Structure 1
Amino acid sequence: MRQSRKLPKRFSPLIFGIIQSCITSAVAAGISHASDPAALFLGRWATTWLLSWIMMVPIVVLAAPGIRRVVERLTSEP
C-alpha cells in the first residue's frame, strides 16, 4: 500500500489560515466584481483575488492565535 505524504500536525494552524484566507478573499473578490461584464469578470476577479489573498495570508496567520485566545476567554464548557 502506498502511503501519502502528509505535513506534520504542528502546521495545522498555518494550513487552516492559508485555506481560510484563500476562500474568504476569493468570495470577497467575486462580490466586488459581480457587476463587471462577463467578458471581464474572470480576469479582474483573478487579479483582485490573488492580490487580496497575498495580503490576507499573513494577517490571518498572525491574528489566529490571538483570536483563539479571545474566543477561549469568552466561552466555556457547559
Structure 2
Amino acid sequence: MRPFIPRRLEQIAFGFLLSCLMSFLISGVSTVLTLGFAPGFLTSWIAAWLPSWAIAFPAVLVVAPFVRRILHRLVLPEG
C-alpha cells in the first residue's frame, strides 16, 4: 500500500486512528458489560461508539502534546 497522507498531517491522522480504535474497543466493552450479547447489541455498540469518538478525537489532539512533554521529562535519554 502506498502512503497517501502528507507528513504534516501525521499527528492528526495518528489521533484520528488512535481515538477511533480506543473508543471503539472501550465502548464495545462497556456495551457488553451493560447489555451482554443481547439482540440489538451491535446497534447499541455503534450508537455508543460514535458520540464517544466525537469526544475522543479532539481530546486526543489536545491531550497528546501535554503527555509528550510529561514523558520527555520522565524518560531517560539514550546513551
Q: CA deviation at 1:5?
A: 6.6
Q: What RMSD, in angstroms, separates the aligned Cα atoms of the two structures?
A: 1.8
Aligned length in residues: 76
Question: Percent of aligned pairs with the same residue?
Answer: 33
* TM-score normalised according to structure 1 size: 0.85
Query: What stretches of structure 1 of length at least 5 have no aligned partner?
Result: none
Which of the numbers 21, 32, 35 marks the counterpart of 1:34? 32
Query: What stretches of structure 2 of length at least 5 have no aligned partner?
Result: none
C-alpha separation in 2, matches of 1:23 and 1:45: 13
* TM-score normalised according to structure 2 size: 0.85
Q: Which residue matches 1:51?
A: 51
Q: Which residue matches 1:73?
A: 73
Q: Which runs of 4+ in 1 moved over 4 A?
A: none
